[in-house]
């Protein structure tokens, strides 16, 4: 099934189609399983405004480069970190920069990750609606209070309910929700309850991740207790038939290193609920132009699996101070398409 979706994704692509990614490497607090470069805003609040300034500059230059190269943007994805850590005004600035710099005529999908429910407000969602965002991702990971505490989230399950209801009321065409099987302190029953609660919202995409043990994450540095492989298998054995019965089918999957029990992450969706950016990133069929710190730009020779990559600097401070790195990446991106 995931292969069929990748084949469909390949059919919808033309030679000069690209995806655009914007990274917001800030989060309200750090999750116990995270090793990403994301900075907690509690500690790096002052960096956010200059980061947004630098990002808008990069997006604007990228738009000019894409226009000159005659490329067509098919999807736009704002991830992180947690993009909704930005204020409503800052989100408005980033989305306005995208809107004014790129021709969006062929851009079918504009996704914004509103991962942490404690960052979602009616005001921010209104900004997303104004800019034509087609998909919002709310990522509870679990609805179990003890698990939320164990992973370092500063909110309750009731906050997830409130945020998800708020998103539902805004009428976005698509809503994603993510869960993780194997989180510290979770049990097979706890995971079952989380999935059942997720299903009550009827999102058209539910991604079930399996916990990956990442270097530098608090799970490893603090030795947090995690469920064994058998329990994780029990969680996934519940997820698969339950999601199928509810009308979902797997549409993309990927593995990461050091996953609990060597399982995989699977994106499930209802018919027509696919996030094409997710399919493109996994099938590696489409170039991705990434903006922001830690961005990874991918240049794919159309119709082949030949890929060149260009990486942005990792941390926001460096990103703000060294625009020459993203400038060099954009030059490489333009040269890649010129040579095709």
Q: Which residues would be at the binding site for ligand SF4 (CB under 6 A)?
A: 27, 30-31, 34, 36, 38, 80-82, 115-116
Q: Which residues of 16-54 are buried (b: 16+ CB within 10 A; e: fewer)?
A: ebbbbbbbbbbbbbbbbbbbbebbebeebeebbeebbeb
CB 229, min distance to ligand SF4, A: 22
CB 116, min distance to ligand SF4, A: 6
CB 83, min distance to ligand SF4, A: 10
CB 303, min distance to ligand SF4, A: 34
Sign of CA pseudo-dihedral 118, 89, 319, 112: positive
Please, which residue, 115 or 273, has the CB nearer to ligand SF4?
A: 115
Q: Which residues of 214-238 are buried (b: 16+ CB within 10 A; e: fewer)?
A: beebbbbeeebebbeeebbbbbbeb
Q: Are strands 109-113 and 72-80 parallel, antiparallel or unpaired?
A: parallel
Distance from C-alpha of 139 to C-alpha of 18, rounded to nearest angstrom: 26
Please, which residue, 82 or 101, has the CB nearer to ligand SF4?
A: 82
Q: Is residue 227 within 8 Å of residue 187, measured between CB atoms?
A: yes
CB 278, min distance to ligand SF4, A: 16
Please, which residue, 2 or 84, has the CB nearer to ligand SF4?
A: 84
Please, which residue, 115 or 140, has the CB nearer to ligand SF4?
A: 115
Q: Is residue 128 within 8 Å of residue 112, measured between CB atoms?
A: yes
Tally of residues, the chain: 340
Sign of CA pseudo-dihedral 177, 183, 188, 194: negative
Please, which residue, 115 or 295, has the CB nearer to ligand SF4?
A: 115
CB 323, min distance to ligand SF4, A: 24
Please, which residue, 26 or 252, has the CB nearer to ligand SF4?
A: 26
Please, which residue, 38 or 330, has the CB nearer to ligand SF4?
A: 38
If 0-12 CB within 10 Å is exposed, 13-18 middle and 19+ buried, where does residue 241 land? exposed
CB 212, min distance to ligand SF4, A: 10
């Amino acid at each position: 099934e995931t292969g069929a979706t990748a084949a469909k994704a390949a059919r919808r692509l033309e030679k000069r189609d690209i995806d655009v990614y914007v990274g917001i490497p800030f989060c309200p607090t750090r999750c116990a399983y995270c090793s990403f470069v994301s900075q907690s805003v509690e500690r790096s609040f002052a960096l956010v405004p200059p980061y947004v300034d630098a990002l808008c500059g990069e997006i604007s230059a990228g738009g000019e480069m894409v226009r000159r190269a005659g490329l067509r943007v098919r999807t736009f994805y704002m991830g992180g970190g947690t993009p909704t850590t930005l204020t409503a005004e800052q989100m408005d600035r980033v989305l306005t920069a995208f809107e004014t710099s790129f021709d969006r005529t062929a851009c079918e999908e504009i996704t914004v990750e509103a991962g942490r429910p404690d960052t979602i407000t009616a005001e921010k969602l209104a900004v997303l609606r104004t800019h034509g965002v087609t998909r919002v991702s709310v990522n509870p990971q679990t609805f179990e209070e003890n698990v939320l505490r164990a992973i370092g989230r500063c909110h309750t399950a009731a906050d997830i309910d409130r945020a998800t209801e708020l998103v539902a009321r805004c009428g976005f065409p698509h809503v994603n929700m993510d869960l993780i099987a194997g989180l510290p302190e979770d049990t097979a029953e706890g995971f079952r309850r989380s999935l059942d609660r997720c299903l009550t919202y009827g999102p058209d995409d539910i991604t079930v991740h399996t916990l990956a043990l990442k270097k530098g994450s608090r799970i490893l540095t603090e030795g947090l207790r995690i469920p064994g492989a058998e329990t994780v298998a029990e969680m996934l054995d519940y997820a698969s038939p339950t999601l199928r019965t509810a009308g979902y089918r797997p549409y993309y999957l990927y593995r990461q290193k050091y996953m609990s029990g060597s399982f995989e992450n699977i994106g499930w969706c209802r018919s027509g609920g696919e996030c094409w950016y997710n399919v493109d990133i996994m099938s590696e069929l489409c170039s991705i132009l990434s903006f922001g710190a830690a961005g990874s730009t991918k240049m794919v020779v159309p119709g082949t699996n030949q890929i060149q990559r260009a990486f942005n600097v990792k941390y926001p401070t460096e990103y703000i101070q060294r625009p020459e790195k993203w400038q060099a990446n954009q030059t490489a991106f333009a040269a890649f398409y010129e040579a095709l």
